[in-house]
C-alpha cells in the first residue's frame, strides 16, 4: 500500500498492527496524508475514522464518525466517556486498491480491573482447579514435584500489564516472589508465566497465597491459591455380575452362558477422577478350577455371549488427576448349564400329579409348593414362585425364595408361601416355577391348574333290597334279618382315586323313626352284608370314596329294624256317635247329624305309623252307608299320627250292629287289627234328682221367702254310650198372682249348692239335664216362688 502517511492520537503514532494508548484527560488526533506508492502510484488518503466502544471491555464498537482531525474533551459536556475506548483509523489507497491502514486506540480513564484465569503451564504431581478468583492447587505430598503457573489476564481497555507471583517459604517448598511483565498472546488477553514452584517429598502444607495482576491503568486483580495435599485413592468403584460383587482383594463367583456386568465407576472427592479402565482376561475352566489367565485387554463394558469352559477376570482401575489409583477385581466361572427343577405340593384340597395341579373347586383351600433345584455347577441359589393370574378368588403374590428349607448334595429345596382360593374361585392360568443357580441360569417347571369337583366312581351299595344314595336311603325290616352287597369306589377321572371304605353304625330308635346318635359297629367285609335277628334300632351302612383333592362319593342305606306292631286308639267328633274302646255307639233315633268319621290315633315308637285301612262294614249293616278307604296321610309328628276314615252314615231309626276290622300298619310292615262293633244307643240317661229349698216338683205352691235357697243334685248316669254331661240352669219369670209369666234367659249354675235370689220376687225354674255321648237327654225340673 501507499507510504508517507501518519496518524497521531494522544501522542501515540498509529501502526498497521494497532497501537494502544491510555488517557486521563483530553487529547487530540491528527493526520498527515499518504504521498507515495512504489507501484501503481498513490491515489488517496481517507479522513480519520473515529469509533467508540460499547462498554469497558473495548471489544464492540459503535458511533462511527470521520474527520481530518479530532479534539477530545472530558467533563460534563466533553466528547469522551469514562471507561470507554476510542479507536481511530487512517486508510491510504493506491491506484490499484492496495491499502495501508493505521490504527490507534485510546482508553480513557480505565477504572475496570482485569480478570485472571490460572492454569498450570507445566506440572509434575500437581493439578490446579478453580475459576474466577479462587483456585486450589492439589499436589502429591508423598512425592516430590513442581509446576509453573500461567495467568491469562484479560483487560479490554488499557490492557494487561504484569502479574506478581508469591513466594512460598513453607518447609519443603521453593519459590521466590516475582513480578512478570513478559507475556504471550494478543490483547485483550495476555498470558504471564511464573518460574518453577517445587517441593520435596513430605513437605509441609503452604497457607493460601495471592497472585496479583494489574492493567496499564494500574487497576489490580487478585486470585487466591489454596494448597491441598491429596494422596487418597478414588473410591466407590465396583463390578457386579449376577449375585457376585467385586472387591479390592478380588472375589470369585459364577456366570451363566451369556452374561453382562454392571460397572460403577470410581469417583474422587479430592482432585477428581481422571480415568476408569476395565481390564479383561480369560483362563480355561477345568472342573471348578481356573487355569492361568492370559494377557489382560482393555474393554469398555462387560458382555459375554459364551462362558462355557472359561473363567473371566475383570479389574476396574480408577485413577485420579494426581495419579492416585484404586482397583476392584471379580473372577467368574462360566456355568452354561441350567438347573433342573422338580416341584412338589403340600396342602388341603389339592394334589399334584406330574405337571397338573388339581384343586377342589367349590371348596376353599390352600397349598404350598416346594421347588427342588438341582445344580452340580455353580449350585442352586433360589426359586421364584409366580403370582396367580387370569382368575378371580385366588391369592398369592410373586415371590423369590433364596433361603433353602433343606439341602441334599447339589439339590436345595425352596418352599413358597401359601397359594389359597375361595369356594367361588375361577380357573387360573398355568403357573411356571423358576429355579435359579448361582451363575444366574434358570430352569423351569410349568404347572397346569385344573379344577376338580367330581367325586370318585365305581361304588355300589344295596341293603335290604334298597339301593344306597348320596343323601341316604331308608329301608325297613320287621324281622331284623336282611342281607346286602357293596362295592368299594375304585376310580376317579380327575385328581385320581385315593381311598374307599365301608362302615356300619348303630343307633337307638324312638319317636316314630327318629334315630339317635350313631356309634361304630363291626364293618362288613368281602362285599356282602348279612344280618340275623337284629334288635329294634337304626343300622346305617355307608360306602365312602375319596379322591386326591378330597371330593367324596357316598352311598348310604339306613335300615330301621322294627319288630313291634303299632297300637290304635279311636275317636269321632260326631255329636250322635261315640267310641269307647272298640265299641262305636250311635244314636239311631237322632233327628239329624246321623253321620260320623272315625279317627284312628296310631302310635309306633320304632319305624313309625304308615297307614290305616278302614274296610267295608261287616255284620248287620241295614241302614248304613260307607265306602272303605286306606289313609296313608297321617297327621301329626313323631311316633303318633292320626288317620281318618271316609264318612259313615245311617238312616233314621236304624238299629243294626255292623262291625269293622280296622288295620294299622307301621313303616316296617307290622300290622295291628282292631275289631270295631257298632251299637245303637237310644236310651236316655237315668238316675238324676234335684231338690231346691226343699222342693222337688214344679208346683206353683212351692214358695219360700228366703233370699238364699239350698240346692241338692244327683247326676244322671248312662249304661250305654256313657254320660257326657250334667248341667243345672235357672230362669226367672214374673208372678201375676195366679201364674208364672214367660221365663227369661237361663243361667248355668252347674255345681252350685245354693242360689241367692237377691230378694227379688217371682218364679224361679231350676232344670237338671243329663246328656249321654250320642245325644240322648233326660231332665228334672223344680219350681220355687218368692
pLDDT at 243: 85
Of 560, 541, 538, whose CA–CA distance to 478 is shortest?
560
And the C-alpha cell for 133?
Answer: 478468583
pLDDT at 593: 86
What are the pLDDT digits (tens) for 443-470? 999 999 999 999 999 999 999 999 999 9
C-alpha 546: how far from its chain's center? 32
Of 502, 563, 504, whose CA–CA distance to 537 is shortest?
563
For residues 352 and 72, give the distance between their C-alpha atoms in angstroms, rounded to a whole number: 107
What are the pLDDT digits (tens) for 691-733? 999 999 999 999 999 999 999 999 999 999 999 999 999 999 9
Map grid coordinates 330301621 to a residue: 560
* pTM of the full structure: 0.62
Q: What is the DSSP letter of 37?
A: -
Q: How confident is the model at residue 187 (pLDDT cuts 50, 70, 90)?
A: confident
8 Å CB contact between 506 and 537: yes
Name the CATH topology of 6-108: Immunoglobulin-like (2.60.40)
pLDDT at 111: 86
Q: What is the DSSP letter of 638?
A: T
Q: What is the CATH number of domain 567-680?
A: 2.60.40.10
Q: What CATH architecture does domain 460-561 belong to?
A: Sandwich (2.60)
Q: What is the DSSP letter of 307?
A: -
What are the pLDDT digits (tens) for 250-274? 999 999 989 999 999 999 999 999 9
Residue 169 has pLDDT above 90, yes or no: yes
Average pLDDT, stretch 371-382?
A: 95
Chosen CATH of 115-229 out of 3.40.1620, 2.60.40, 1.10.1760, 3.30.2320: 2.60.40
Of 247, 209, 245, whose CA–CA distance to 226 is shortest?
209
How large a percentage of the chain has pLDDT more than 70? 100
What is the CB neighbour count within 10 angstroms for residue 556?
A: 19
Largest CA distance in the chain: 199
For residues 638 and 493, give the distance between their C-alpha atoms in angstroms, rounded to a whole number: 44
Q: Where are the beta strands (DSSP E) in 33-187?
A: 42-45, 48-53, 61-67, 70-72, 84-94, 99-108, 115-124, 126-131, 134-139, 145-154, 160-165, 173-174, 178-180, 184-186
pLDDT at 483: 98
pLDDT at 56: 85
Residue 135 has pLDDT above 90, yes or no: yes
Chosen CATH of 341-452 out of 2.60.40, 2.60.120, 1.10.760, 3.30.1380: 2.60.40
Residue 110 has pLDDT above 90, yes or no: no
8 Å CB contact between 253 and 244: yes
β-partners of residue 151 are 118, 192
8 Å CB contact between 483 and 557: no
pLDDT at 728: 98
pLDDT at 156: 87
C-alpha 286: how far from its chain's center? 49
8 Å CB contact between 376 and 411: no
Average pLDDT, stretch 492-509?
A: 97
Rounded to 5°, the CA angle 691-694-695 comes to 65
What are the pLDDT digits (tens) for 194-244? 999 999 999 999 999 999 999 999 999 999 999 999 999 999 999 999 889
8 Å CB contact between 389 and 429: yes
Please report the DSSP string for 698-726 in residue order. --TT-B---SEEEEEEE--B-SSS-EEEE
Average pLDDT, stretch 280-295?
A: 96
Average pLDDT, stretch 600-615?
A: 97
What are the pLDDT digits (tens) for 650-673? 999 999 999 999 999 999 999 999
CATH 2.60.40.10 domain position(s) in the chain: 567-680
What are the pLDDT digits (tens) for 507-546? 999 988 899 999 999 999 999 999 999 999 999 999 999 9
More confident residue, 377 or 283: 283
Amino acid at each position: 500500500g501507499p507510504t508517507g502517511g501518519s496518524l497521531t492520537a494522544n501522542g501515540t503514532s498509529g501502526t498497521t498492527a494497532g497501537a494502544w494508548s491510555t488517557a486521563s484527560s483530553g487529547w487530540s488526533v491528527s493526520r498527515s496524508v499518504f504521498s507515495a506508492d512504489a507501484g501503481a502510484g498513490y491515489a488517496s488518503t481517507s479522513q480519520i475514522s473515529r469509533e467508540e466502544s460499547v462498554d469497558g471491555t473495548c471489544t464492540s464498537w459503535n458511533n462511527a464518525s470521520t474527520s481530518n482531525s479530532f479534539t477530545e474533551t472530558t467533563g460534563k459536556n466533553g466528547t469522551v466517556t469514562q471507561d470507554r475506548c476510542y479507536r481511530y483509523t487512517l486508510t491510504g489507497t493506491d491506484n490499484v486498491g492496495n491499502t495501508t491502514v493505521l490504527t490507534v486506540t485510546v482508553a480513557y480513564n480505565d477504572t475496570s480491573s482485569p480478570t485472571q484465569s490460572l492454569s498450570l503451564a507445566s506440572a509434575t504431581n500437581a493439578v490446579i482447579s478453580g475459576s474466577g478468583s479462587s483456585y486450589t492447587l492439589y499436589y502429591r505430598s508423598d512425592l516430590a514435584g513442581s509446576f509453573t503457573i500461567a495467568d491469562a489476564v484479560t483487560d479490554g481497555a488499557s490492557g494487561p500489564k504484569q502479574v506478581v507471583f508469591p513466594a512460598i517459604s513453607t518447609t519443603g517448598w521453593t519459590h521466590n516472589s516475582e513480578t512478570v511483565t513478559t507475556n504471550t498472546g494478543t490483547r485483550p488477553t495476555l498470558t504471564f508465566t511464573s518460574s518453577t514452584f517445587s517441593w520435596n517429598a513430605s513437605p509441609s502444607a503452604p497457607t493460601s497465597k495471592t497472585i496479583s495482576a494489574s492493567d496499564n491503568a494500574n487497576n489490580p486483580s487478585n486470585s487466591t491459591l489454596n494448597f491441598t495435599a491429596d494422596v487418597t485413592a478414588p473410591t466407590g468403584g465396583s463390578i457386579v455380575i449376577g449375585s457376585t460383587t467385586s472387591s479390592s482383594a478380588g472375589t470369585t463367583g459364577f456366570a451363566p452362558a451369556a452374561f453382562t456386568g454392571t460397572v460403577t465407576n470410581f469417583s474422587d472427592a479430592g482432585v477428581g477422577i481422571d480415568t476408569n479402565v476395565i481390564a479383561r482376561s480369560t483362563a480355561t475352566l477345568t472342573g471348578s478350577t481356573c487355569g492361568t489367565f492370559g494377557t489382560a485387554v482393555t474393554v469398555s463394558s462387560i458382555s459375554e455371549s459364551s462362558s462355557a469352559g472359561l473363567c473371566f477376570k475383570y479389574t476396574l482401575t480408577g485413577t485420579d488427576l494426581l495419579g492416585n489409583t484404586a482397583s476392584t477385581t471379580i473372577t467368574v466361572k462360566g456355568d452354561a448349564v441350567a438347573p433342573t427343577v422338580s416341584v412338589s405340593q403340600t396342602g388341603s384340597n389339592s394334589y399334584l400329579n406330574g405337571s397338573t395341579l388339581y384343586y377342589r373347586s367349590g371348596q376353599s383351600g390352600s397349598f404350598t409348593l416346594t421347588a427342588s433345584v438341582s445344580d452340580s455347577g455353580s449350585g442352586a441359589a433360589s426359586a421364584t414362585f409366580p403370582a396367580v393370574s387370569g382368575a378371580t378368588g385366588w391369592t398369592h403374590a410373586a415371590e423369590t425364595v433364596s433361603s433353602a428349607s433343606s439341602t441334599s448334595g447339589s439339590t436345595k429345596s425352596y418352599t413358597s408361601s401359601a397359594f389359597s382360593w375361595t369356594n367361588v374361585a375361577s380357573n387360573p392360568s398355568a403357573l411356571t416355577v423358576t429355579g435359579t443357580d448361582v451363575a444366574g441360569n434358570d430352569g423351569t417347571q410349568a404347572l397346569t391348574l385344573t379344577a376338580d369337583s367330581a367325586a370318585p366312581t365305581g361304588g355300589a351299595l344295596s341293603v335290604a333290597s334298597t339301593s344306597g344314595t348320596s343323601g341316604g336311603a331308608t329301608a325297613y325290616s320287621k324281622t331284623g334279618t336282611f342281607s346286602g352287597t357293596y362295592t368299594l369306589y375304585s376310580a376317579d377321572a380327575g385328581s385320581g382315586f385315593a381311598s374307599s371304605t365301608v362302615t356300619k353304625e348303630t343307633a337307638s330308635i324312638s319317636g316314630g323313626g327318629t334315630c339317635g346318635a350313631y356309634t361304630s359297629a363291626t364293618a362288613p367285609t368281602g362285599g356282602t352284608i348279612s344280618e340275623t335277628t337284629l334288635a329294634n334300632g337304626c343300622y346305617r351302612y355307608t360306602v365312602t370314596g375319596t379322591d386326591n383333592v378330597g371330593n367324596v362319593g357316598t352311598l348310604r342305606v339306613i335300615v330301621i329294624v322294627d319288630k313291634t306292631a303299632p297300637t290304635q286308639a279311636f275317636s269321632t267328633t260326631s255329636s250322635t256317635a261315640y267310641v269307647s274302646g272298640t265299641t262305636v255307639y250311635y244314636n239311631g233315633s237322632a233327628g239329624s247329624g246321623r253321620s260320623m268319621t272315625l279317627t284312628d290315633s296310631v302310635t309306633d315308637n320304632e319305624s313309625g305309623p304308615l297307614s290305616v285301612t278302614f274296610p267295608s262294614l261287616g255284620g248287620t249293616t241295614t241302614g248304613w252307608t260307607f265306602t272303605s278307604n286306606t289313609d296313608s296321610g297321617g297327621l301329626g309328628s313323631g311316633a303318633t299320627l292320626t288317620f281318618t276314615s271316609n264318612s259313615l252314615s245311617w238312616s233314621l231309626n236304624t238299629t243294626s250292629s255292623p262291625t269293622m276290622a280296622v288295620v294299622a300298619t307301621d313303616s316296617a310292615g307290622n300290622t295291628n287289627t282292631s275289631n270295631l262293633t257298632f251299637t245303637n244307643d237310644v236310651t236316655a240317661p237315668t238316675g238324676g234328682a234335684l231338690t231346691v229349698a226343699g222342693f222337688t216338683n214344679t208346683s206353683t205352691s212351692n214358695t219360700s221367702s228366703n233370699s238364699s235357697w239350698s240346692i241338692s243334685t244327683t247326676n244322671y248316669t248312662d249304661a250305654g254310650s256313657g254320660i257326657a254331661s250334667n248341667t243345672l240352669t235357672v230362669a226367672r219369670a214374673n208372678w201375676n198372682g195366679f201364674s208364672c209369666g214367660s221365663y227369661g234367659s237361663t243361667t248355668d249354675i252347674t255345681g252350685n249348692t245354693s242360689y241367692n235370689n237377691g230378694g227379688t220376687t217371682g218364679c224361679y225354674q231350676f232344670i237338671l239335664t243329663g246328656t249321654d255321648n250320642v245325644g240322648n237327654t233326660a231332665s228334672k225340673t223344680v219350681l220355687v216362688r218368692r
